[in-house]
Structure 1
Amino acid sequence: MFKKVAVFLACLMTFSLSVNANETESNNTGLSIVFTKNLKVDRKMDALAKSCVECHAEKTPGIVADWKESRHAHVGVSCTDCHSVKADNPMASAKVHPKDSNNHVSMLVSPKTCANCHEHEVDEFTKSGHARGAMQMYAKPAMVKLMYHYEGADHPDFKDAPDATGCTQCHGTIIELDKDNRPVAKSWPNYGIGNVYPDGGVGNCKSCHSVHKFSVAEARKPAACASCHLGPDHPDIEIYNNSMHGHIFNAEGNTWKYDSAPDTWDVPDFRAPTCAACHMSGVGETTVTHNVSRRLKWNLWAPRSNERTAGFEQAAYDYWKTGEINKGTPLAGHPEGPEAARNEMKAVCKACHTTLHTDNFFTMADKHVGLYNFYFDEAKEMLDDLKSKNLLLEDEWSDEFQVVYYHLWHHQGRRMRQGALMGGPDYSHWHGVFEVKNDIRELRKIYKKRIETGKIED
């Protein structure tokens, strides 16, 4: 009943935005370029909001074109609702904008602003692993040293580049402002999921719902996750494509329905789940959540996979307020513990699969995680023994044992575990356990030689 009511309300809220005709020009390539000019806003927005839309239709037509197609535009949410801030806001521009107003703007929009309307969604997000994206990275001395010292070469001009163009774009960063309260180049623009904003907001809604359209349909497609969840260390989109779910999506996903109202997107809108369907959407008996960690039993990215314990504290926000990392913060997960998380994930599976099918799948996937832990525990024991005997180099990236150890958990081990839990056989096996097996043999060989000789090989 609730879902039917939600659909009805969504239909009532949808109405069109009227604009004057677009103009078309041709450039020297012979291609037609459409400019959204002479846009006349005729709806219940104040004069300032209307002037923003009409001016930016001329200055940044792409932005206005996206906004025009958004749910925000349909319900009268304009530029000023998101970008206008009080003069004492830490992100407020030093100068008023427009010039003949008393309006201060911020090009940055933090989750604190989004929470004015989407309070529940922002609260759920802050309880997820996504919220820790930036601070989890900067809290690790080894990661900071990798970005700025090893990769950035401690170069006075270039050392920030590996972080700003790479890590930050997925993890997020601590956004810094210049003297005019404009973001500095090394911290913006970025689409990182765990940004820490000067106003204390943590997260980045536009990572999944790209600005200024903020499309729910876009966020429900695998491409929304693929820009970050890919590559040698967490090839989730590759694993998805390797799975039967991905096979079905790639065969016919362009025909599915993606714009159903929240908590109503369910079978038969799609025939196989996307990332959002399993981890976020209200499929079957589940309800929508922006806590992407809620349905996860295991921590699959860590060196060793442990079950996600109950409870959560917002480490990123704590850091912003105190300057200290709470290293005792429990893993993001289901508030009632790992078995509740698994049961909720199984409830999604029940939309298409029998109980036996689902139970058997997770039984064997969990065994594969256990097998990985078996290998990792041996590797960690060897590492700790070599460290106690001063048989490790301080520069871990020049030390063969430490490099192989890192790849065992950070690359091969993640692929092994994630491949198993998401039904990607090639990543569970050939890119996963097969390579972990090779790594442990290499580590045994190096360990044996160092213990016997008491020396680190040249």
Structure 2
Amino acid sequence: MLKKIVLALTCLVAFSFAESVGNVNLTKVMKVDRSLSPLAKKCVECHAEKTPGIVNDWKSSRHAHAGVSCMDCHAVPADSPMAIKKEHPKDSGNHVSILVSPKTCGKCHAKEVKEFEQSGHARGGVQMFAKKGMVELMYHYEGNGKPYENDAPFHAGDENLKDAPSATGCIQCHGLEIKLDKEGYPIPGKGWPNYGIGNAYPDGSVGSCKSCHSSHTFDMVEARKPSACASCHLGPDHPNIEIYNNSMHGKIYNAEGEKKWKWDSAPDTWDVPDYRAPTCATCHMSGIGDLNTTHNVSLRLKWNLWAPHSNLRTGGYETAADVYAKEGKVTVGVPLAGNPAGPEAARGEMKQVCKSCHSTKATESFFISADQHVMLYNTYHTEAKKMLDDLKAKKLLKKDEWSDAFQKVYYHLWHHEGRRMRMGAVMGAPDYAHWHGVFEVQQDIKELRNIYNARIKSGKIEE
């Protein structure tokens, strides 16, 4: 109740109303000068003309209500690695950065930033440029790698085009290592601007708060809804939003979530009375019962469901952000981030979420079935990987994966069908677990066996 009273008083301070005589027309006017410095006021006044959409978003934000201005997020010391070299405004002695890094957000939201850095989200961008091994894993970046023998580069010799596919695709979700030109602006054509979850900034910080809390409103309500996650978690390789909509949880949300659920509860009070089925944020982040809220989305995960083979998450807290801050690089190949107390502790926390609505018996039974499905996938992948390694040892694979029938099918087995099979099972979506998942995986394995047997028998790469 105290929180609601404080919020109401804040709103009264932040708004004024003008009443016209005759047609009783109440016009809401937002005050933008509450606790703002003269320079901050000047920023707002100028950008209200230059970029009115940004200012309107900011005006309606809780930042504006609390007097957090453009200067608090964008002003940086002149010697900051992110600073634009020219003073802004002109002759003000002030320097700004277009970029707002997690280190900036951490000045007020230290707990949330630290939790994020301990999550798998934090390695979203840095894993792509960490070392050659991860780039090879991402070999579907068209034109971004070394051209294969006898193949012309996809960018047809135009070096300006070589980054285009990843810059407008992968980087928009994963993030990138942001480089600045000599004037302090992000280099065009290299993937900025983006909403990549794992951007690495010149100040050494990693992440992107605006991936979920879009600038410049940074709305908690917006971040809580499944659509916040759907920008990246969709499509043939990780159709989490489609899987969610296919589940009973999604069915309930789509029927009543927008009409009945209370989305603006305080972070430490959003609980079962406010909604009837979980969203992405509920299961992975929200405070439920005895569980605290967290921005570590890996904390409640037992398995790694996106890699070629599903292993238990034994890596504890993610270290990519810390390593990058200290060394400007990151090592890949370490165990995937999870719960520092281990995979079963992670599963225990997820079960606590489920038991808010389901019985212990139903919860335990669901996860037994889900784990069986994940382990079934592993048996298929073990066989596929054994055949791949054998063909590689016998030099019966083409150098260009995308011109090789075996390698194309193997890739789709784990990166598309296999992910759908595993994710569909643990998120309660039967059609994705079966018809889009295990059915297609077993079709893949049969095709791989045929190609493998033909090459072993002939000693040649036959298509």
TM-score between both structures, scaled by the size of structure 2: 0.91
Taking only aligned residues, the RMSD between alpha carbons, in angstroms, comes to 2.0
Equivalence for 1:374: 379
Which residue identity is paired with 1:352? Answer: C
Q: Which residue of 2 aligns with 1:162?
A: 165
Q: Determine if the alignment matches structure 1 residue 254 to structure 2 residue 262.
A: no
| Corresponding position: 1:206 with 2:210 | yes
Give the corresponding residue for 2:183: 180
- Deviation string, structure 1 residues 409-453 (Cα, Å, up to 9, x no partner): 000000000000001111100000000000000000011111111
Distance of 2:340 and 2:2 partners within structure 1: 28
Mapped to 1, the partners of 2:102 and 2:156 lie a distance apart of 34
Q: How does 1:14-413 map to 2 (within 5 A)?
A: 16-18=13-15, 41-139=32-130, 140-143=134-137, 145-147=139-141, 148-149=144-145, 152=155, 155-185=158-188, 186-255=190-259, 256-319=261-324, 321-413=326-418
Q: Is the 8 A contact 2:283 2:350 kept in 1?
A: yes
Whole-angstrom distance in 1 between the partners of 2:250 and 2:138: 35
Equivalents in 2 of 1:430, 1:144: separation in Å? 26
Alignment map for 1:442-453 (pairs within 5 Å): 442-453=447-458
- For residues 76-130 of structure 1, the C-alpha deviation after alignment (integer angstroms, 9 at most, x for no partner) is 1111000000001011111111113111001100000001011110000001010
Aligned to 2:21: none
Whole-angstrom distance in 1 between the partners of 2:386 and 2:209 = 41
d(CA) in 1 for partners of 2:82 and 2:178?
10
Give 3-state SS (helix, strand or coil) of 1:372's partner. helix
For 2:149, the equivalent position in structure 1 comes to: none
**Cα offset, 1:318, TM superposition:** 1.9
Q: Distance in 1 between matches of 2:71 and 2:295?
A: 25
How many angstroms apart in 1 are the aligned matches of 2:360 and 2:8?
35
Cα 1:145–1:381 change in 2 (3 A) is closer
User: In 2, are the aligned partners of 1:10 and 1:261 still within 8 Å (CA)?
Assistant: no
Query: Which sections of structure 1, spanning at least 5 residues, go unmatched?
Result: 22-35
CA distance in 2, matches of 1:307, 1:328: 14
User: In the alignment, is the contact (CA less than 8 A) between 1:196 and 1:320 conserved in 2?
Assistant: no
Return the letter of the residue paired with 1:118: H
Match of 2:424 among 401, 412, 419: 419
SS in 2 for 1:179: coil
Kindly state the Cα deviation for residue 68 of structure 1 after the two structures are TM-superposed: 1.1
User: Amino acid of the residue matched to residue 141 of structure 1?
Assistant: V
The change in CA–CA distance for 1:74 and 1:187 in structure 2 (over 3 A counts) is same
For the 8 Å contact 2:243–2:427, the answer to whether it is kept is: yes
Contact 2:199 2:206 in 1 (8 A): yes
The alpha carbon displacement at 1:180 in A equals: 0.5
2-structure distance, mates of 1:212, 1:158: 31
Letter in 2 for 1:80: M
Letter in 2 for 1:210: S
Q: Does structure 1 conserve the Cα–Cα contact (< 8 Å) formed by 2:205 and 2:321? A: no
- Once the two structures are overlaid, the 10-residue window that deviates more, 400-409 or 313-322, is 313-322
Question: Which 4+ stretches in 1 moved above 3 angstroms?
Answer: 4-16, 18-21, 38-42, 143-146, 149-155
Cα distance 1:119–1:348, how it changes in 2: closer, same or farther (>3 A)?
Answer: same
Mapped to 2, the partners of 1:20 and 1:155 lie a distance apart of 58
Distance 1:159 1:263, change over 3 A: same
Counterpart-to-counterpart distance in 2, 1:69 and 1:382: 58
Preserved contact between residue 151 and residue 162 of structure 1 (Cα < 8 Å): no
Paired residues of 2:318 and 2:338 also in contact (CA < 8 A)? no
Cα 1:156–1:144 change in 2 (3 A) is farther
Please state how far the C-alpha of 1:39 moved relative to its aligned partner.
7.4
SS at structure 1 position matched to 2:172: helix
Structure 2: stretches of 5+ with no match in the other structure? 19-27, 146-152
For 2:452 and 2:169, locate their aligned partners in 1 and report how far apart those are by CA, in whole Å. 34
Give the direction of change, closer, same or farther, for the CA distance of 1:357–1:154 in structure 2 (3 Å limit).
Answer: farther
